[in-house]
Amino acid sequence: MTGMWAIILAAGESRRMGSPKMLLPFNGTTVIGQVIENVLAAGVIDTLVIAGADREEIIKAVKSYPVQHSYNDNFRSGMLSSVQCGFAFLPDHCHAALIVPGDQPMISAMEIKKVMEAWKESGKGIVMPVYNGKRGHPLVVDMKYRAEVLSLPEEDGLRALAARHPDDVIEAETDDQSVLRDIDTREDYLNELKIIKNDGRDNPVQTQQQGDGTGH
């Protein structure tokens, strides 16, 4: 989609996994590779990967993809710092940012397209997918909020932006639970591999609620 950049958040330390989770094998590529492939398949032309911990390994893993990358030297402060790093990088002609965690490889191109189209068709500035009443990822944030995002305190996260502008938020309903699932632990990873093996995206798995799609 012209005018929209994807920001893929890949700066985390993978403390609960004990090894770089985005470099784990996944569906013929890696976790981060699958996320990039899903974003590209959704029609995103411009993609930015934010690296932090494991910077060199992440950059090496994504070098075969048509993406740019930036380094968040403040990655230990949390996810918001990576979002802010991305917003600072994006060019002036960018209209909106699609914010995609690098540890959610099960979010399909179709689900990504849903939030992109919701932004385009609704005229709203913030779009969040919702499964069974729970907000997840990916998010779309209009660039009219660039300055505000860059000034958000790290303890608040993006949830503060949505709270400040409730009338400019649209929730994109979905029946795909993947918008809530991320890979934090070995168990999470094995669950996702099992789902791929069974070829069933909607299989019930133990999920971690991500609140309004802005948690760590």
pLDDT tens per residue, range 156-210? 888 899 999 999 999 999 999 999 999 989 999 999 999 888 864 433 333 333 3
Signed CA dihedral, 14, 50, 101, 67: sign only: negative
Which 8-state DSSP code applies to residue 213? T
CB atoms under 10 Å from CB of 188, counted, come to 20
Which pLDDT score is estimated for 199?
63
Q: From CA 81, how far away is CA 188, in angstroms rounded?
A: 24
CA angle 171, 159, 36 (to 5 degrees): 70
Residue 15: pLDDT band with limits 50, 70, 90: low
Pairing of strands 96-101, 139-142: antiparallel
The answer to whether 36 and 62 have CB atoms below 8 angstroms apart is yes
Q: Residue 52 and residue 41: Cα distance in Å, rounded?
A: 25
- pLDDT recorded at residue 128: 96
Model pLDDT for residues 38-79, shown as the tens digit of each residue: 999 999 999 999 998 888 999 999 999 999 999 999 998 889
- Cis before 138 (ω within 30): yes
Output the pLDDT for position 214.
40
Is the pTM higher than 0.85? Answer: yes
Q: Which two tokens stand for residue 44?
A: 């995103």
The answer to whether the beta carbons of residues 59 and 77 sit under 8 Å apart is: no
Q: Residue 12: what pLDDT?
A: 80
Domains of the chain (ranges plus CATH)? 4-197 (3.90.550.10)
Residue bearing the bigger pLDDT, 135 or 77: 135
pLDDT of residue 197: 83
Question: Three-state DSSP class for 107?
Answer: coil
Task: Give me the mean pLDDT over the 8-23 stretch.
Answer: 82
| pLDDT at residue 17, rounded to an integer | 77
Whole-number pLDDT of residue 190: 94
Q: 76-128: per-residue pLDDT in tens?
A: 888 999 999 999 999 999 999 999 999 999 999 999 999 999 999 999 999 99
Q: Which of 2 and 96 is assigned the larger pLDDT?
A: 96
Reading the block at residue 132, the tokens are 């069974």
